[in-house]
């Protein structure tokens, strides 16, 4: 393809996700991201109807395969699938043959023998979704892989910001917390920088990945600097389960230096949004008064997760083209 036709392609509105899987935000174009966000707006309307159901995925089977605990992601995928009229299955790893030593590939291939159309996978290993996409015919949707990506979380975060602020470009978005272990951070950096936001990341020096600046963000350990004039503050959980050593003296010390308090909030813009992907450690990365306060959109994020996941499922199944063919 020559440069001129590439430029023309980029200018044309993206009307379909022409890909088998959703593995990460890294591989999505700005147009594809905007298509998901626009489609999620229509899906959100479905959730306001007396009968919250459309036939878009009737006859499709979706398997939710979660190797790590989840409250928000697993539940909202299941609700999204049901609102689209798909047949859904939840695999309980603890009572499956995984406990007898069956590998991820064997588990997925055996599930595939029963002809599902999509597999929603959460796994502790970074790259598990890319691996399954190579061995499976089904569409693979990444619901969080190790410390790599959590694409639908970043999409619902962007949807929630755009809903309030009407734009992402030019906003100062401060992401504060355990940067090193966060797949939410990686997906959000890819997405927010692609859509033109001014992204700051902040945490203890031991929890800032060495190469983070090459992704186009400003990194600091001075929380006041990160929060100053911020339009959005996103707190990330301290992931003790992924830490092998001590990255800071104590949780009490972490809250004293980095915790989001009402006093620190005063440094941000008057219409700041407070976000957290959950689950929260109250009194560690965020004070309860802030989590439950007037600037918090944390439960809006959860509500929007259903609409965004409906959009992803619908678009990967072929969107309007699939519905016309049915
Ligand atoms: N945000 C998020 O992934 O939450 P869960 O672990 O509860 O799914």
Could you report the per-residue pLDDT of 240-266, keeping only the tens digit for each?
777 766 788 789 999 999 999 999 999
Ligand 1 and 144: CB distance under 6 A: yes
Which residue minimizes the CA distance to atom 1 of ligand 1?
A: 277
pLDDT tens for each residue of 84-118? 999 999 998 988 999 999 999 999 999 999 999 99
Residue 153 CA to ligand 1 center (angstroms) comes to 8
Ligand 1 and 153: CB distance under 6 A: yes
- When pLDDT is cut at 50, 70 and 90, the band that residue 8 belongs to is very low
Ligand 1 and 73: CB distance under 6 A: yes
Full-prediction pTM beyond 0.75? yes
| Residue recorded with tokens 């694409």 | 151
Residue 150 CA to ligand 1 center (angstroms) comes to 9
Residue 263, number of CB atoms within 10 A of its CB: 9
Ligand 1 and 241: CB distance under 6 A: no
d(CA 112, CA 104): 12
Of ligand 1's listed atoms, the one at least distance from the Cα of 278 is 1
Which residue minimizes the CA distance to atom 6 of ligand 1?
A: 70
Ligand 1 and 70: CB distance under 6 A: yes
Q: What is the largest CA-CA distance in the chain?
A: 60
Q: How much of the chain, in percent, has pLDDT values that exceed 90? A: 87
What is residue 13's predicted lDDT score, i.e. its pLDDT? 75
List all residues 6 or more positions away from 141 whose beta carbon is below 8 Å from its beta carbon.
21, 22, 77, 118, 119, 120, 121, 129, 152, 312, 313, 316
What is residue 215's predicted lDDT score, i.e. its pLDDT? 96
Angle at 34 between CA 119 and CA 186, to 5 degrees: 60
């Amino acid at each position: 393809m020559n440069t001129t036709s590439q430029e023309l392609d980029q200018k044309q509105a993206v009307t379909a996700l022409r890909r088998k899987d959703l593995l990460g935000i890294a591989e999505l174009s700005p147009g594809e991201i905007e298509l998901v966000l626009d489609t999620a707006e229509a899906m959100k309307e479905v959730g306001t109807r007396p009968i919250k159901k459309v036939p878009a995925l009737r006859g499709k089977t979706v398997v939710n395969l979660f190797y790590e605990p989840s409250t928000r992601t697993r539940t909202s995928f299941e609700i999204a699938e049901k609102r689209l009229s798909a047949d859904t299955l939840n695999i309980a790893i603890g009572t499956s043959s995984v406990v007898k030593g069956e590998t991820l590939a064997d588990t997925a291939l055996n599930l595939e023998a029963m002809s599902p159309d999509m597999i929603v996978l959460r796994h502790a290993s970074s790259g598990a979704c890319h691996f399954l996409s190579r061995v499976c015919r089904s569409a693979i949707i990444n619901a969080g892989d190790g410390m790599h990506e959590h694409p639908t979380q970043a999409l619902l975060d962007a949807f929630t910001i755009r809903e309030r602020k009407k734009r992402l470009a030019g906003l100062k978005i401060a992401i504060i917390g355990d940067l090193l272990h966060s797949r939410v951070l990686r997906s959000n950096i890819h997405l927010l920088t692609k859509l033109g936001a001014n992204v700051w990341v902040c945490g203890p020096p031991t929890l800032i990945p060495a190469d983070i600046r090459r992704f186009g963000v400003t990194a600091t350990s001075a929380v006041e600097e990160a929060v100053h004039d911020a339009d959005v503050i996103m707190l990330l959980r301290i992931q003790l389960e992924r830490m092998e050593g001590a990255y800071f003296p104590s949780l009490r010390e972490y809250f004293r230096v980095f915790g989001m308090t009402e006093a620190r909030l005063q440094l941000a813009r008057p219409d700041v949004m407070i976000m957290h992907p959950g689950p929260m450690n109250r009194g560690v990365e965020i004070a309860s008064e802030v989590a439950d306060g007037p600037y918090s959109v944390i439960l809006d994020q959860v509500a929007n997760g259903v609409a965004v996941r409906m959009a992803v499922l619908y678009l990967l199944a072929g969107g309007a083209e699939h519905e016309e063919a049915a």
